[in-house]
A and B are shown apart, each in its own frame.
Chain A
Amino acid sequence: MSALEHVRGLKLKFGRLDRAKEGIIEKLLFIAAISSILLVFFIIAFMLKESIPALALGWNFIFGMTWCPGHEQFGIFPIVVSTFVVGTGALAIAAAIGIPTAIFLAEFSPRWLRNIIKPCVEMLVGIPSIVLGFFGLMVLVPFIRDSLGGYGECILAGWIILAIMTLPHVISISEDSIRAVPEGYKEASLALGATQLQTIRRVLLPNARSGILASLILGMGNAIGETMAVLMVIGNPEIPWIPSSILEPVRVLTSTIVLEYSYMEWGSMHQHALFAIGVVLFVIVAIFNLVTTVAIKGRFGATAAIKGVIGGNR
């Protein structure tokens, strides 16, 4: 065997080894990729398994009016209603501030101002929710108690704190969708003699509508799933009721879990009911997220959605 053939043989051998190694690496990467799927299935399976006895109560669970674990009564309807009331109000405030901000950032803002506002908005998303809740408890709650009366810990406080938390998502996705409107539309409108404001109202906003809507739905999902911040400021009465004024304390789904998990008896109906609340929460938020994905994909394709979500950190 000549030296040349020897080298060629070695090369072949290494080539085969390399190919085997490449194959193994690809398999390993594949396993990593499907681990997310497995994780989601595990979460769903375990949550369902723990909550089936409570979900089996059926309408009595979802539409039951009394939540009183001490007396074995597990109706979450007042809690669900409060959750939606708190979420919707927060979203309305976030929309009222967020959409004008997005318009300003996309259309009017000089570069230097945008470079100040944008990082601040991004920082806002990351203030730990427990810190924001504590801020609310120390500043907002006494303020509401002194100026509007009531306990102070109430729906209104929850609205404001949650609005601060959802604001960044609303701003960044709305801004992205306003910017995604083709430049030509705007130019055509301006060329026809429309003013900048008319162009925004008649051309940009209608075209960006689905993106803005999506940001609101996503914000709603976030608001409903938020735990610590809202927990600190809404009061959480022992026995929840359907609120009739925004100055009443309420309980939401997330706060109920945190307040009661520590003294639930393992294996009791109380435990199953708390996990069932988790499932209800999961389903509500999943529906909101699904609607968002569909709404954004319909208009801009997936990239805008992903960019918006990553830019806004969820």
Chain B
Amino acid sequence: MKETVIKISLCMVALISVAVLFAVVGYIFLKGIQVISLDFLLKSPNYTALEKGGIFPHIIGSLCLLAVCLLFAVPLGIASGIYLAEYATENILTKSVRFFVECLAGIPSIVIGLFGLIFLVYYLGFGPCMLSGGLALGFMILPWTVRASEEALKAVPRSYREASLALGVSKWQTIRGVVLKSAYPGIITGILLGAGKAIGEAAVILLTIGGLVTYLPHSLLDDVGALPVYIYTILTVVPASRDVAESHAFGASLVLIMMFLMISVFALSLRNRYIKRMSGSRG
């Protein structure tokens, strides 16, 4: 009897997380769907009369920032992962690489933002722009891409490599043709999870882009908008009536959540398929 009561109460507590998720997403969805229209999605913002504008440059800006971020973090992360998993012997150097990757993962995003502000915006003189924001985001997700690649590469069975090497194929060709080919779903999943985090991140880009744009960026050094920064600025900086600012924030939040959900559902389905395949090949 006592056991059942405790079991049921544990179950209730466990369902709190589910309830919270549905409450947040459901509330934002219900409020946001009232605001979203083609005009809202495809028009440029109008900061003097917020209700007349849309969020188009900010959607595109978020995607541009994500692209720059991935262009920086993915090649570097995969290369580091390959080195750590395939070439490095266990020594002080690889241990310190792993340690510093952990360090980087632990740095609060606002500190990365400050670093981006001083290093990219001022020291390198990029100014607040797409390049600064994208690179700063890249610094933030680099540890994910490194860890995801290393883990995925290490999960590839040793026999694959041995078979390829025994056929006289060189080490790099083995890695490129055999190991990476079987590890790529794992790597992509890790990268997508990082991308999901990057697209919702506000603190890093708030400090490294200007954000109050009405146009689309034409080059890397142009200022861009981003959805998280838009939500923050219309609620705090831009003078607008509270109701309009809130309704726009709901609309932008919904778009942001949708983008995030699409990325992570894709990532999770990829991971499940990958896990199934790996366990299938073992069993």
List A residues at the B interface (Cβ < 8 Å). Answer: 18, 21-22, 25-26, 28-30, 32-37, 39-40, 42-43, 46-47, 50, 97, 100-101, 103-105, 108-109, 113, 116-117, 119-124, 126-132, 134-135, 137-139, 164, 167-168, 171, 195-197, 221, 224-228, 232, 254, 257-258, 261, 266, 274-275, 278, 281-282, 285-286, 289, 293, 306, 309-310, 313-314
For this complex, 20 residue pairs linking A to B, each with C-beta atoms less than 8 Å apart, are A32-B79, A35-B76, A36-B143, A37-B100, A39-B142, A43-B111, A46-B123, A104-B10, A127-B257, A130-B200, A134-B235, A134-B249, A134-B253, A167-B17, A197-B3, A225-B107, A228-B202, A232-B235, A254-B110, A257-B110
- In the complex, whether B55 has a CB less than 8 A from a CB of chain A is no
Chain B residues closer than 8 Å to A32, beta-carbon distance: 75-76, 79-80, 83
Contact status B257-A131, CB under 8 Å: yes
B179 to chain A, nearest CB (A): 13
Contact between A101 and B28, CB atoms less than 8 A apart:
no
Known interface pairs A47-B118, A127-B21, A138-B31; 20 further A-B residue pairs with C-beta atoms within 8 A, sorted by A's residue number? A25-B172, A32-B75, A33-B83, A36-B80, A37-B96, A40-B100, A42-B119, A43-B107, A101-B16, A113-B11, A126-B196, A132-B24, A134-B235, A138-B246, A171-B17, A197-B2, A225-B111, A228-B202, A232-B235, A310-B148
Which residues from A are CB-within-8-Å of B104? 36, 39-40
A97 CA to B25 CA, complexed, in Å: 20
A117-B14, A134-B253, A167-B17 known; A126 and B200 CB under 8 Å? yes
B115 within 8 Å of A by Cβ? yes
Given A36-B80, A43-B115, A131-B28, A310 and B228 touching (CB < 8 A)? no
CA distance A314 to B151 in the complex (A): 15
Q: What 1/0 flags go to B113-151 for Cβ under 8 Å of A? A: 111011100110000000000000001001100111001
Chain B residues in contact with chain A, CB under 8 A? Answer: 2-3, 6-7, 9-11, 13-18, 20-22, 24-25, 27-28, 31, 75-76, 79-80, 82-84, 87-88, 93-94, 96-97, 100-115, 117-119, 122-123, 139, 142-143, 146-148, 151, 170-172, 190, 193, 196-197, 199-203, 206-207, 228, 231-232, 235, 246, 249-250, 253, 256-257, 260-261, 264, 268
**Which residue of A has the minimal Cβ distance to B150?**
A306
**Inter-chain contact B193/A100, CB cutoff 8 Å:** no
Asked if A131 and B106 make an inter-chain contact with CB atoms under 8 angstroms apart, the answer reads: no
B66 to chain A, nearest CB (A): 13
- Cβ-defined partner of B197 (8 Å) among A116, A134, A282, A313: A313
Q: Which residue on chain B has the smallest CB distance to residue A110?
A: B11
List residues of chain A with CB within 8 A of the CB of B109: 225, 227
Contact A139-B202, Cβ < 8 Å, known A124-B21, A281-B110, A285-B106: no
Contact A261 B18 (CB under 8 A): no
Q: Quick one: given A228-B203, A286-B103, are A313 and B24 in contact (CB under 8 Å)?
A: no
Residues of B within 8 A of A293 (CB): 102
Task: Please measure, in the bound complex, the distance between the C-alpha atom of A2 and the C-alpha atom of B268, giving whole angstroms.
Answer: 59
Which of A33, A50, A97, A274 touches B79 (beta carbons < 8 Å)?
Answer: A33
On whether the beta carbons of B83 and A30 are closer than 8 Å, the reply is yes
Q: Specify which of A40, A42, A225 is in contact with B110 (CB 8 Å cutoff).
A: A225
By CB atoms of chain A within 10 A, which of B25, B96, B108, B196 has the most? B108
Which chain B residues lie closer than 8 Å to A313 at the CB level?
193, 197
Which B residues are in CB contact (< 8 Å) with A257? 110, 113-114
Q: A47-B114, A119-B268, A123-B264 are in contact. Are A135 and B100 (CB under 8 A)?
A: no
Chain A residues near B107 (CB-CB < 8 A): 40, 43, 225, 282, 285-286
Whole-angstrom distance between the Cβ of A104 and the nearest chain B Cβ: 4
Give the residue name and chain of the B residue nearest to A314 (CB). B105
Q: Beyond A128-B200, A132-B24, A228-B232, is A104–B13 a contact (Cβ under 8 Å)?
A: yes
CA–CA, A37 and B102, complex, Å: 10
Please, which residues of chain A bring their CB within 8 A of the CB of B143?
A: 36
Bound Cα distance from A282 to B115, whole angstroms: 12
Known interface pairs A39-B139, A131-B28, A227-B110. Does A123 touch B231 (Cβ–Cβ under 8 Å)? no
Known interface pairs A33-B83, A97-B17. Does A286 touch B106 (Cβ–Cβ under 8 Å)? yes
Check A306 against B96 for contact (C-beta < 8 Å): no
Q: Pick the contact of A18 from B3, B25, B170, B250 — CB < 8 Å?
A: B170
The answer to whether A37 and B97 have CB atoms under 8 Å apart is yes
Q: Which of B25, B82, B142, B257 contacts A36 (CB 8 A)?
A: B142
8 Å CB contact of A261 from B79, B96, B117: B117
Complex interface: chain A residues within 8 A of B253 (CB): 128, 130-131, 134
**Interfacial chain B residues near A195, Cβ < 8 Å:** 3
A130: chain B residues within 8 A (beta carbon): 200, 202, 228, 231-232, 253, 256
> B32: nearest residue on chain A (CB-CB)?
A131
Given known contacts A108-B10, A131-B256, A310-B151, is B15 in contact with A117 (CB within 8 Å)? Answer: yes
Expressed in whole angstroms, the Cα–Cα distance for A20 and B88 within the complex equals 18
> Complex: how many Å from CA A7 to CA B115?
57
In the bound complex, what is the Cα–Cα distance between A105 and B75 (angstroms)?
37
A309 to B150, CA, bound (A): 14
Complex: chain B residue closest to A121, CB-CB: B17
What is the distance, in angstroms, from A199's C-beta to the closest C-beta of chain B?
11
Contacts of A100 in B (CB 8 A): 9-10, 13-14
